[in-house]
Amino acid sequence: MQCTKISITREKRIQNGDPDGPITFNDEDMEGITQPHNDALIISILVNKFRIKRVLINPGSSANIIRWRVIEQLGLLDQIVPAIRVLNGFNMACETMKGEITIPISMAGTTQQTKFYVTEGDMGYNALLCRPWIHLVRTVPSTMHQVLKFSTPKGIKTVCGEQQAAKEMFAVEESIKNIKAPDRSEGKNAK
């Protein structure tokens, strides 16, 4: 039996005409950010001149997702294309999507057609922009800096995260209830 050795190399692509150079983050990008933090990167987007709040930038997921209720409020239910797709969450819980929709997403003066899977399920966000969108727009998110940046012909655009929205979504309120402790001496014989 003869074995064939296969070698795979990856060539580095050189971008032409990028006047602003590489996308970088520095301390200036963290101005106004409460430190230290462990907040998710949440932004707002424009869809048909409507502002959609609580949109999670999630590079760990493989599908852009939007809530049925948001599509309904936008008046775009007739644009949903029936498509059955089952997505698994991090705990392997399955959710069947109700269809898919491609809608124009606007931010920082740019618009990009983006495909979403539509869910009726309840989630803390109105939409999730995940790897397909991140790669399509060629954006670089930084949760630490609460910023995402992407290159356009007019230079590098910056979209700031809404740290306060992230904090409000996951705030744990401590409530102290005055619960009377049970009297442990009841039912015992006193000496």
* pLDDT confidence tier of residue 83, bands split at 50, 70 and 90: confident
In order of their start, the domains of the chain are 41-137 (2.40.70.10)
Q: Identify the residue whose tokens are 């969450």.
A: 89
Query: Does the structure show a pLDDT above 70 at 140?
Result: yes
Neighbours of 158 (CB within 10 A): 14
In whole angstroms, what is the distance from residue 92 CA to residue 90 CA?
A: 5
- The pLDDT, as a whole number, for residue 16 is 43
Q: Which residues pair with 118 in a beta bridge?
A: 66, 99
Query: Does the structure show a pLDDT above 90 at 184?
Result: no
- The pLDDT, as a whole number, for residue 10 is 44
Note whether 62 and 126 are within 8 A (CB): no
Residue 41 token pair: 């990167």
Average pLDDT along the chain: 81
Query: Does the structure show a pLDDT above 90 at 157?
Result: yes
Instruction: Give the HSE-up count for residue 179: Cα atoms under 13 Å, Cβ half-sphere.
Output: 5
- The pLDDT, as a whole number, for residue 76 is 96
Q: Identify the residue whose tokens are 């074995």.
A: 3
Q: Looking at per-residue confidence, does 17 or 155 come out higher? A: 155
Note whether 55 and 125 are within 8 A (CB): yes
Quick: pLDDT tens for 10-20.
444 434 445 45
Query: Does the structure show a pLDDT above 60 at 79?
Result: yes
Find all residues with CB under 8 Å of 121, minimum gap 6, and list them. Answer: 67, 95
Find all residues with CB under 8 Å of 157, minimum gap 6, and list them. Answer: 107, 108, 109, 110, 149, 150, 151
Quick: pLDDT tens for 88-131.
766 667 777 889 999 999 998 899 999 999 998 778 899 999 99
